[in-house]
Amino acid sequence: MVPAAPIVVFGRSTTFTVLTLATVVMMATASGPSPLCPLYRERWDFSDTMVTVVFAVYVVGLLGALLTVGSLSDRLGRRPVLITALLPAAAGTAVFWTADGVLSLVVARVLQGVAIGTAMSGLASGPVESSPPGPTVTAVGTNVGLAADAAVVGLLVQWVPRPDAFVFSVLTLVFLVLAVTVVRIPETVVPGAGVPASLRPRARIPQGARPRFLAAVPALVAGRSVTGLFLAPAPPSSAASCT
């Protein structure tokens, strides 16, 4: 039997680029459906309540994943957890791509929330471990992803007959390519025990990081408030949003 060829592992700079791209694309899926909500409402004629439901299930999936499996990459390794997160992300965009009603939107948003919540730890830690400016690039990449996809999809709504099919087919392909590519990033975590304990929901700020965290809170709140203003559900008389 011919032995399988060893997997060629990326260097630090390539790993940093792949993880940064994954961050941007992952966050882009969170805002991408927003400009499409008027299109969906016209197509399926659903109520303001359903807009809120589609909004809320994403948050439920995101917080649920963050509080349970969000730290798994510290136990199982960055690579397997990121691959595991990219696959449901691809499934979520695929459901959006083939959506045939409001239930499809709900399922897709839950998958997106779970995928992003699962990936965030690895996507935040990976660039830091592969490059000194990792924290800055991670923060910038998150906001670039949120803004860029909403802007691009908003333009496509004006120009393309089926912008949802175009956008989500491309994103599905990109996620699948990223899942295959992440196989080649170097693993920076030695898998260890304690996985069941890590699934217990908890939230805390390390003692040494608390002064910096508190100093950053006003800017974080202001930035997220502006983002929420433009991406929140809106009345039917204006451009409604799904995120």
For the stretch 127-178, pLDDT in tens is: 777 666 656 666 777 777 777 777 888 888 888 888 889 999 999 999 999 9
For the stretch 189-206, pLDDT in tens is: 777 665 666 667 667 777
At residue 4, does pLDDT exceed 60?
no
pTM, full prediction:
0.82
Give the model's confidence band at 211: pLDDT under 50 very low, under 70 low, under 90 confident, else very high: confident
Kindly give, in sequence order, each residue whose CB lies less than 8 Å from that of residue 54, ignoring residues fewer than 6 positions away: 33, 37, 102, 105, 106, 109, 242
Mean pLDDT, residues 67-71: 82
Please report how the helices 210-231 and 134-159 are oriented relative to each other, as an axis angle in degrees rounded to 10: 0
- Give the per-residue pLDDT at 106: 94
Residues 22, 26: Cα–Cα separation, whole Å: 6
Q: 113 versus 127: which is more confidently predicted?
A: 113
